Structure 1
Amino acid sequence: MRKPDERVQMPRGLTRARFLAGMAGAGMAAGRLPAGSARAAVPRARSGLRHRGVVYTVGAGETPGTAFRTARMRRDMDAIRDRLHADTVEVTGDGVERLTATAAEAAERGLRIWLQPTLGDVPERDILEHLAETGRFAERLRRQGAVVELSVGCEFWLFVPGIVPGADVFERIRNLQQGRVDPVAMQRRLDRFTAKAAAVGRSVFGGRLSYAAAQDDEVDWGLFDIVGIDYYSFFPDRVGYVRELRRYLRWGKPLAVTEFGTCAYVGAPQTAGMGWDVVDHDKKPEEIKGHLVRSEHAQAAYLLQLLDAFSSLGLYAAMAFEFVTPDAPHRPGDPLHDLDLASYSITKTLQDRPFDPASGWHWEPKEAFHALARHYAREQRHGTADAGALPPG
């Protein structure tokens, strides 16, 4: 489960990506895409998604049973390459050792690496040093021949202290909700830190640089080589997705969808990024709110609908969120405690001993995993992925 840092106690079932996507979906993102400034010509779309990926989060785990394990991670990298047929893995989370160990294993398997450190809610200098250490390792991998792209982080406006007032994530959210934020000052602080992070990235890494923004964030994409967007919209057909995604091509740069996905229950795709918000964390053990109907098919169909749109635009890359969420276990026959319903994972976590925090566990593919694998294998056979060249722009 993704956390900005172990010191930030996010509720179980609420990942950083879901939290941020939800806030953006609620209209509380830092800004809007600039509407009036000059843009480069939109590059001609090519057929097919150029790089097919999945997000792999390397957090420390919330319980002894879900702590990071190198052996497990290695097996997961094998599965991503051989069973999912992905050519790219987005290695994200915090902890330089976990990030670099995972990136190294991905490189050994010939996977493209989108390396994105996401330490948050600590002093700026710690976030930037965490980025610098990760970036230095990425540069070493790149010089050894691996295909590596570095993202300097995601949605800084919420997780970097000082951009939005508040002592922690929750206080900052309350300030946003209650209008106790100066949007002009917030954008100015966001721009300053984004530029600083980009400068740090450039200073240690010689490859292509990016950043993962929420859909409505205002970003100076001139700082980066690739536009990165965490994308959680819902439309009834492909036309809506294509129309919305085209606006991110206006910079004349490759577009990577750094996250996309939904949960496995009826109606989850329509929540536009709020699908995680179905857990009552005050209950012990935690319970699913309402009477949700589990539907792995709904999750799979949504992912395929998005991939259809991405392919029609010839996007540079797309990374499904996410490979596994160990801290949101699936409990068959117990819908009240099936925390996997709040997970965006394409696999389901099954505990050996349900409700035991020290329990071992394994994952099994969801329908979404199989759907992605078929789609990725088909694009692999058709040769839509390239050797790493970027389109002109």
Structure 2
Amino acid sequence: MPSGRGGDISRKRFLAGAGVAAAGLAVAAGPALRPDRAAAGETAAGASPATGERRGLTHRGVCYELTDGETPHTGWSATRMRADMKAIKEKLHANAVSVYGDGVDRLKATASEAAERGLKVWLQPRLADRPHKEILDHLAETGEHAERLRRQGVDVHLSVGCEFYLFVPGIVPGADAVERVRNLQEGNFDPEKMQRRLDSFIERAARTGRSVFRGPLTYGAAQDDTVDWDQFDVVSVDYYAYHRRRADYVKELKTYLRWGKPVAIAECGTCTFKGAPQQGGMGWDVVDYEKDPPEIKKGLVRSEREQASYLSDVLDIFEEMGLHAAMVFNFVSPDAPHRPVRRYDLDMASYALVKPIWKTPTKPTAGWHWEPKEAFHAAATHFARAATR
């Protein structure tokens, strides 16, 4: 997932990684969740009050981004999308997919293809840096399609958006997500005003979603966001935490269970280098975009094994806690190719389960392809094993 900061970064390149950037910045957003009630009869994280048995995840899947791409060959295409959905179902052994991005037509097409493949669908529109009305209209039109799928018998959730303080103008100062991240990092914002504006827009988005969709509604929150979850049916969090002990993951995640609602991990994962899990949601920030072509910063060592190991560990924890869903971030980042020369191997800064292989050194041709990483195989093994339990 290529991303970064600075005036010379393309907007598309930044937005490809901004969703996880916020996970590392969320501490600026204010206090943690405001749980106001305990889950009735809760005896253990994810356990049945009656029997204490572990339920396991209901939805196991991967995030699939819809993007314009840096080049004509790396943007969304119906042909590639259909092949990817087939691989997600048959090779990754997922039973769900989180379809996110902008462009109502491609959101509809991708969600419909996933449903036809027998996948459970999580649909999340992300229209960024546009007037509030346009963002809400985009949500409403996407939600109408989610409702049509629901009426056809598809298991579908609608997320009204993701980490609004990054993507929606007027919550945090800044003309775009790049400037908003910079202002968050440098403390150039009023936390109380930000929270009021965030609460207001989340409420408007929730009302918009409810007006068109009758199924389960949620919102993709950053890990430490303050959200009134009474507005939603599912508590969803983008979770990129790193702990040395499994017990610390459980302790942290139980905070979300206190709302008495299903808990979904809307995003999880790590990048492809040693030490990436410790970087959490900022793992992507290891590319020097001041150089042409961009380079991976010195001292990093590629490690597919570490990415796979972290993912296996957190998926096991989510299963043991009986959370509702877990979506691995993400399937493919077409503009972050794997290259044999380490300093140009942008896939190291990617959370993706597969690595794009370009046929040319600089610009991809129409014939680029992806190959599975160790993390893909780790997730596939986990999903297949869990499905048989």
Matching residue of 2:266: 258
**Residue 348 (structure 2) pairs with residue 345 (structure 1):** no
SS in 2 for 1:233: coil
Tell me the alpha carbon deviations over residues 279-312 of structure 1, each in whole angstroms, 9 at most, x when there is no partner: 0011111100012111100000000110111011
Are 1:2 and 1:59, in contact at CA under 8 Å, matched by a contact in 2? Answer: no
- Alignment partners' CA distance in 2, 1:158 and 1:121: 9
- Alignment partners' CA distance in 1, 2:59 and 2:111: 17
- Alignment partners' CA distance in 2, 1:357 and 1:38: 52
* Counterparts of residues 1-393 of structure 1 (less than 5 Å): 9-11=11-13, 15-24=17-26, 27-34=27-34, 37-41=36-40, 43=42, 44-45=46-47, 46-332=54-340, 334-358=341-365, 360-382=367-389
Q: Deviation of residue 359 (structure 1)?
A: 5.1
Paired AA for residue 105 in structure 2: E
- Aligned-pair RMSD on alpha carbons? 1.9
Q: Deviation of residue 60 (structure 1)?
A: 1.4
- Alignment partners' CA distance in 2, 1:327 and 1:347: 12
Are 1:13 and 1:328, in contact at CA under 8 Å, matched by a contact in 2? Answer: no
- Alignment partners' CA distance in 2, 1:11 and 1:51: 29
SS in 2 for 1:28: helix
For structure 1, list consecutive stretches of 5 or more residues without a partner in the other structure. 383-393
Q: Deviation of residue 13 (structure 1)?
A: 8.9
Tell me the alpha carbon deviations over residues 234-271 of structure 1, each in whole angstroms, 9 at most, x when there is no partner: 01131111111010100000000000000111111111
SS in 2 for 1:272: helix
- Alignment partners' CA distance in 1, 2:292 and 2:15: 14
Sort the Cα spacing of 1:357 and 1:347 in 2 relative to 1 into closer, same or farther, 3 A. closer
- Alignment partners' CA distance in 2, 1:360 and 1:29: 43
Q: Deviation of residue 205 (structure 1)?
A: 0.5
Paired AA for residue 361 in structure 1: W
Shifted more, 183-192 versus 257-266: the winner is 183-192
Q: Deviation of residue 109 (structure 1)?
A: 0.9
Q: Deviation of residue 171 (structure 1)?
A: 2.6
Are 1:31 and 1:187, in contact at CA under 8 Å, matched by a contact in 2? Answer: no
Q: Scaled by the length of structure 2, what TM-score is found? A: 0.92
SS in 2 for 1:265: coil
Matching residue of 1:390: none
- Alignment partners' CA distance in 2, 1:228 and 1:8: 29
Q: Deviation of residue 11 (structure 1)?
A: 3.9
- Alignment partners' CA distance in 2, 1:126 and 1:286: 34
- Alignment partners' CA distance in 1, 2:360 and 2:10: 27
Paired AA for residue 126 in structure 1: E
Are 2:269 and 2:328, in contact at CA under 8 Å, matched by a contact in 1? Answer: yes
- Matched residue count: 375
SS in 1 for 2:11: coil
Sort the Cα spacing of 1:120 and 1:275 in 2 relative to 1 into closer, same or farther, 3 A. same
Paired AA for residue 90 in structure 1: S
Q: Deviation of residue 138 (structure 1)?
A: 0.7
- Alignment partners' CA distance in 2, 1:109 and 1:302: 28
SS in 1 for 2:70: coil
Tell me the alpha carbon deviations over residues 146-186 of structure 1, each in whole angstroms, 9 at most, x when there is no partner: 11110000111221111112222233233333333222221
For structure 2, list consecutive stretches of 5 or more residues without a partner in the other structure. 4-8, 48-53
| Structure 1 residue runs of 4 or more that deviate by more than 6 Å after TM superposition | none
Q: Deviation of residue 87 (structure 1)?
A: 0.3
SS in 2 for 1:64: coil
Are 1:56 and 1:92, in contact at CA under 8 Å, matched by a contact in 2? Answer: yes
Q: Deviation of residue 358 (structure 1)?
A: 4.0
Tell me the alpha carbon deviations over residues 312-350 of structure 1, each in whole angstroms, 9 at most, x when there is no partner: 100100000001110000012x10100000000000000
- Alignment partners' CA distance in 2, 1:163 and 1:13: 17
- Alignment partners' CA distance in 2, 1:143 and 1:367: 38
- Alignment partners' CA distance in 2, 1:175 and 1:51: 36
Sort the Cα spacing of 1:371 and 1:159 in 2 relative to 1 into closer, same or farther, 3 A. same
- Alignment partners' CA distance in 2, 1:169 and 1:30: 19
- Alignment partners' CA distance in 2, 1:122 and 1:280: 28
